[in-house]
Chains A and B, each alone.
Chain A
Amino acid sequence: MTTEQKEDIIVKARGVTKVYTMGAEKIHALRGIDLDVRRGEYLSILGPSGSGKSTFFNMVGGLDRPTEGNVEVDGCCLRELNQKQLAWVRCHKMGYIFQSFNLIMTMTALENVALPRIFAGESPSEARDAAADILKTVGLGHRLTHLPSQVSGGQQQRIAIARALVNKPSIVLADEPTGNLDLHTGEEIINLLGELKSKLGITIITATHDMKMLSASDTVVWIKDGRADRVARKGEFEIAIGTIDGKTLA
């Protein structure tokens, strides 16, 4: 609690390195990244494949541990946590959105969204009530009992967003959230994330290639060869964008 009052930095990465050993060879995926993410910010991580973008993203998400250095999320030093504490952090502090949605295909929209609350210790019936509320917020009140295979890609991603938000996390991590969607649907998803960010005051961190996503970001970080090559705040970067149906993409 004390840290939250002291600073508005929600993610603090210091000297994060990651070395993978493959036989005799050592691969340096990250070579020391320092980064601060402010609370309520929309931050995009950009970089070509193999740049270490996903590795860094996974470190911030508590899915992987750095070889050296440290990541602090909302006052929790991830390095020092045991498996059960990490699971608690993932459940209560973070929401994940994946490129391929990663919904449980045998569960309905409602059951999928209720899962994080069940893991947080709520009874299934209470969890389903909360899930129904958040599904209504993302505009899927009429799709509660549908299986993921019975709804469109955009709607699947909305279910995934509802699932990421149902435990009221501090941070939402979105890995190429528009990667599997067409332009229009992708734009809808970006707008929805933007709306939810302002409404709920959450911090959004995305790994993306999508230029529309960049223009919605408050900060963009370019990662190259395992290092933070450039950090630009809104207004400091310009993106050349095209149009669809005569409408500017932004």
Chain B
Amino acid sequence: MQQQQQTIPEQQHVSWAVTLNVSWAGIKRRFFRSLITMSGVVLAIAFLTYMQVMNKIVQALVEARDPVLDAILQAAGVEIHEESSNDSIVLLIILSLLACFVGIVNSMLMSVTERIKEIGTLKCLGALDGFIVRSYFIESSVQGVAGTCLGCILGLIVSIVVAFSSYKGHVATHFPWGGIFNALLVSLLIGTLLSVSAAILPAYMAAKKQPVDAMRVEE
């Protein structure tokens, strides 16, 4: 009575482009929820950008060697003639980035727990682990990159407003275009790297959920 076993093909992977197409609906419609996840990234990157841009502006003003400007800088508490030590600021930046990293991992893991049933359902419909990993990865990367861009803009605006209110028109005369461009690039790179790497663990955890979880009836 032993029946001949059919050769069953293996389910094929869905491409990155199609995964993005499918995940996009979720990212778009969960936008407000994403804003909360993003706010950590926005604030951390805004802080990083602010610190960098302010540093570049002050540096440019110091290098101008203008006695009037030096007086203003000294009044603002800038050490003109000493190599200022940035250790505590660097530590502060690292801490804020670390908090932001943990924040993304945490909120993405929560979203995995909330969506166990959804992941199980997708697997019942034929999704492979790879699809789940990719869609979670895309979702948190998009959130992270969007948050990073917003953070860069926010940090830049705040630092320029603060710089103008402290040093008035001098900022415009000695505006360090190149330095600020570099600072933004560094912020973008760090923010993107941070949010993309924070996405790895939650995406992996999501893929390990079983299709049988879809059957559990708890609302």
Which chain B residues lie closer than 8 Å to A154 at the CB level?
Answer: none
Q: Indicate if the CB atoms of B4 and A84 lie closer than 8 Å.
A: no
Q: Indicate if the CB atoms of A100 and B25 lie closer than 8 Å.
A: no
Could you say which of A19-27, A112-120, A223-231, A232-240 contacts chain B? A112-120
Assess whether B14 is interfacial by the CB under 8 Å rule: yes
In the bound complex, what is the Cα–Cα distance between A111 and B126 (angstroms)?
15
A116 interface neighbour in B9, B26, B120, B125, Cβ under 8 Å: B125
Q: Indicate if the CB atoms of B11 and A88 lie closer than 8 Å.
A: yes
Assess whether B128 is interfacial by the CB under 8 Å rule: yes
Assess whether A81 is interfacial by the CB under 8 Å rule: yes
Contact with B along A41-82 (1 / 0, CB 8 A): 000000000000010011001011000000010011100111
B215 interface neighbour in A63, A83, A85, Cβ under 8 Å: A63
Q: Indicate if the CB atoms of B125 and A91 lie closer than 8 Å.
A: yes
Which chain B residues lie closer than 8 Å to A64 at the CB level?
Answer: 212
Assess whether A246 is interfacial by the CB under 8 Å rule: no
Assess whether A31 is interfacial by the CB under 8 Å rule: no
In the bound complex, what is the Cα–Cα distance between A116 and B29 (angstroms)?
21
Q: Indicate if the CB atoms of A90 and B211 lie closer than 8 Å.
A: yes
Assess whether B171 is interfacial by the CB under 8 Å rule: no
Assess whether B78 is interfacial by the CB under 8 Å rule: no
Q: Assuming the A-B contacts A63-B212, A87-B126, A120-B126, are A3 and B14 also in contact, with contact meaning beta carbons closer than 8 angstroms in the complex?
A: no
User: For chain B residues 118-171, which have a beta carbon within 8 Å of chain A?
Assistant: 118, 120-129, 131
Q: Indicate if the CB atoms of A100 and B217 lie closer than 8 Å.
A: yes
Assess whether A158 is interfacial by the CB under 8 Å rule: no
Q: Indicate if the CB atoms of A58 and B212 lie closer than 8 Å.
A: yes
Assess whether B8 is interfacial by the CB under 8 Å rule: yes
- Taking Cβ atoms with an 8 Å cutoff, the residues of A that contact B are 1-3, 6-7, 12, 54, 57-58, 61, 63-64, 72, 75-77, 80-85, 87-92, 96, 98-100, 102, 104-108, 111, 115-116, 118-121, 123-124, 147, 163, 167, 175-176, 179
- Taking Cβ atoms with an 8 Å cutoff, the residues of B that contact A are 3-6, 8-12, 14, 18, 21-22, 25-26, 28-30, 117-118, 120-129, 131, 210-212, 214-215, 217, 219
Going nearest first, the 10 A-B pairs with the smallest beta carbon separation are: A91-B126, A119-B126, A84-B10, A87-B11, A88-B11, A106-B29, A106-B26, A63-B212, A102-B121, A85-B8
